[in-house]
Amino acid sequence: MIYGQDTTEPQGPPPPPAQRTRLWMVVALVGVLAAAGGGIVTFLLIRPDAAVVAVPDAAVVAPTTSPGPSASVEATLDVDVCAMLDPDETDRLVPQAEIKSRSFGDQTVLTSYISETCTWANRDISYKETRRMREITLDVTQYEGVGTTTAAKGAMIHYDSRLRSYTFASEHPTKERYQSKPVMIPGVGEQAVVSYQWTQAADARYAFGEGIGRIGGVTFEVKYQASQQDKEAGLFSTDTKQSVTEENALREVKNLLTQASASITAWKAKRPLPYAGKPRSVPTPTPTPTPVPIVLPASCVTMKPLAAKLVPGTEGAAARSEEGKAKVTDCQWWNDMLPAKPGTIRWRNLRATIRAFPDAASARYYLIDRRSRNAGTSNSSIGGLSWGKLDKFPGLGQDAFGYTIKQRTDTAHIATYTIYVLDGKNVVSLLFGGSDRPTGTPINSSKTTLMNLKEATEGATSAIRSVLGALDD
């Protein structure tokens, strides 16, 4: 059995949501916690009678948009705005995007409109040593005539307001903010303009292309933002961050505005949208590996003498599975009924995992990704889980790190130490930990005493050296 680890003229609609750098940081942190918590805490993998616990899903943080005056209304357009862009292009720009839409409206004596927004976002694209962020936003607003102001006039006022905003910002740059001179796009709608903006502040660095077009009483706005940063940069750091260039951003925004214009023209003419027949991709969840029990492999047989001391009373078990590009071999020694002092029973868990990649680069990228995610939880606590700092292990393999976890959850109470080591095409991880509890109580007993972390660290270090020695033979 194997047990697991691990956004006195009629007013326009509100502008697109303000730069959500802080929101992205919060989302990134949530993602780090979920990834670290779900992959490193000791849970059961193959055992029918066991419960599996993970860090609870964080509440979805939805961007808010001010609906305007108190006369705002709930309304939707009679068209799917998310179908107005070519899925092939949105997939290219934002792979594995999460697609969301929202709508709002306003009806007063001065203005009347319905606005719908669609976003394509992926803020965690793993690429070698970097983590990429991509997002497209499309806002479509349909105006209605109010008094002597026609729908087209209302849309024109909104368009002109945006154009003035771009122009003013381009003529008044600061050390921290740059806006390119707006560029008119002939042939896109009745009017269209694009611009580029970057911000480089001490705590925020980002850039995006944006643009607005108009057809009759409808405006359509597009924003494209992209960046990448080294995975091992600090969570709130702007070091090593690179953002989309002006040339690339303007090219993509022009392309997206052209697509939106074609769709709005078709919609207003009551024709099918040009991209309606194309399938939209949806994020593909990472499949859960299915371990297949095997005989203890040679790399783990060499651990048996040490395992007999660390986890007495068990012969160990092994399994194989696949995880992305890696072929995974797991070996584990688990005994939660070891005798201890009178009235107390002991639990010890030792697990070695060998991920064999097709090449050394893939193995290195995996270690970097793993360490960057664990760095996000270093010296933190959430939901009964407490992580220690990341430790370095110079001279162990080509690269290595380790950390402690104290777990007090509904599933188990245990202290563990985990080490990850890069060894050529392999990444080897080793977890060792345990706890003591009153006789007759389960492993999640509130009266549990966690294992001494020094003992867990020493045991894990000794065990992983044994595995590495076997791999090198």
| Domain termination site, one of 268, 300, 329 | 268
**Are 158 and 296 in a shared domain?**
no
Cα separation of 33 and 366, whole Å? 17
**Are 312 and 263 in a shared domain?**
no
Burial class, 329, CB count within 10 angstroms (exposed 0-12 / middle 13-18 / buried 19+): buried
pLDDT on residue 10? 38
> Where in the sequence is the domain holding 350, given as residue range(s)?
292-472
Q: In this structure, is residue 464 part of a structural domain? A: yes
pLDDT on residue 41? 41
Q: In this structure, is residue 38 part of a structural domain? A: no
Q: Report the run of H or E that residue 107 belongs to, with start and end.
A: strand 98-107
Name the token pair of 216.
């009759």
pLDDT profile of the chain (473 residues), mean per 10: 40 43 37 40 36 32 38 69 95 93 80 90 85 93 88 93 94 92 95 94 86 96 91 70 92 97 95 88 75 92 93 94 93 95 95 96 93 87 93 93 96 97 96 96 96 95 91 71
**Are 251 and 358 in a shared domain?**
no
| Domain termination site, one of 253, 268, 283 | 268
**Are 209 and 150 in a shared domain?**
yes
Q: In this structure, is residue 13 part of a structural domain? A: no
Q: In this structure, is residue 381 part of a structural domain? A: yes
**Are 347 and 461 in a shared domain?**
yes
- Give the number of domains in the chain: 2
Q: In this structure, is residue 6 part of a structural domain? A: no
**Are 261 and 366 in a shared domain?**
no
Q: In this structure, is residue 19 part of a structural domain? A: no
| Residue 211 contacts residue 195 (beta carbons within 8 Å) | yes
**Are 222 and 257 in a shared domain?**
yes
Q: DSSP class of residue 22? A: H
**Are 214 and 333 in a shared domain?**
no
Cα separation of 158 and 368, whole Å? 47
Query: Model pTM?
Result: 0.70
**Are 261 and 345 in a shared domain?**
no
Q: In this structure, is residue 142 part of a structural domain? A: yes
Q: Report the run of H or E that residue 253 belongs to, with start and end.
A: helix 246-268
**Are 311 and 263 in a shared domain?**
no
pLDDT on residue 43? 40
Cα separation of 320 and 135, whole Å? 38
| Residue 133 contacts residue 125 (beta carbons within 8 Å) | yes
| Residue 399 contacts residue 35 (beta carbons within 8 Å) | no
CATH number of the domain within which 73 lies:
3.40.1000
Q: In this structure, is residue 280 part of a structural domain? A: no
Q: DSSP class of residue 291? A: -
Q: Which among 83, 150, 137, 110 has a CA at the least distance from the CA of 13?
A: 110
| Residue 362 contacts residue 325 (beta carbons within 8 Å) | yes
Cα separation of 173 and 93, whole Å? 28
